[in-house]
Amino acid sequence: MGIFNRIKQILVTDVRDLFKQEGRLVDDDFLRDLFAILVKTDMGAGPARKIRDRIGTDFRARKVHMPDILKVIREQISEIMDQPEEPIKFVENGPTVIMVVGVNGSGKTTSIAKLTNLFVKSGKSVVLGAADTFRAAAVEQLSIWSERLGVEIVKGEHGADPASVAFRAVAKAIETNADICIVDTAGRLQTQVNLMRELEKIRRVMTRQIPEAPHEVLLVLDATAGQNGLSQAQGFSEAAGCTGIVLTKLDGSAKGGVAIPIREQFKLPVKYVGLGEKAEDMVLFNVHDYVEALLSEDK
């Protein structure tokens, strides 16, 4: 069942509370209550409104039971989230360069460790670039992970130009014929214009060595971010050209619905899901499992 077994207890909505054993009439009160419950999953007003209106059109003035409503909700969310399982798209020649971005505290460094673990287990060689030069703890954490996972790491002095570290990391990946180069970047708010421009500079220096680099730009998004996740997706996509999302912290109290409006508005696929702190706690995102977990009927 993939991620479903791990997160079905986490992403449960209160849809079942709308129903009595004999079913419920679909009227304005029902639709209002349903809308409020859907919004609580962090999916936002747009998708919630679309689902509510579809149910209102299909079932108004009819008595329905929970499975009828859940079926429609699943169909609507699956339609919005429709995407293939998209792991990293590896290039045929030379290293595949992955740039990782996100706000402070989103779980970037841990996510990089988990991705590295996945790649190493699949037989890929990896070079890490510790371009978060402003936070010594991030460099130290990434260094510990690199030793643990047996991969090379390129670091810079504290406060050094992050773009220079990224440049050297890509150079090291080319020199050692590595399969993958993952470049960490400092956490920043999407509203910090100067820091967002720095991401553009990091991208530019990579293209000097590999014109198509970075091949992937992954936005690490905390599942508890709620609607602020939309602002993050927009800001980082504009500055860094994001190609996908790593959704983290689904092992906590996250409702997880934030991925829905991001997919709807920005067409960004969720590529991986982080479920814990261990290196193994990352799995490929699966739409079917996600929708089932979001709307689990388990008590």
Binding residues for GTP, as ranges, are 102-109, 184-188, 248-251
Of the chain, the end-to-end C-alpha distance in Å amounts to: 18
C-beta neighbour count of 296 within 10 angstroms: 19
Per DSSP, the three-state class of 245 is strand
| CB within 8 Å of 50: residues ≥ 6 apart | 76, 80
Identify the CA nearest to 264 among candidates 87, 89, 73, 44.
Answer: 44
**Binding-site entries:** 102-109, 184-188, 248-251
Strand extents, DSSP E, the chain: 24-25, 63-64, 96-101, 126-131, 152-154, 180-185, 216-222, 244-248, 270-274, 282-284
| CB within 8 Å of 145: residues ≥ 6 apart | 109, 112, 113, 116, 128, 279
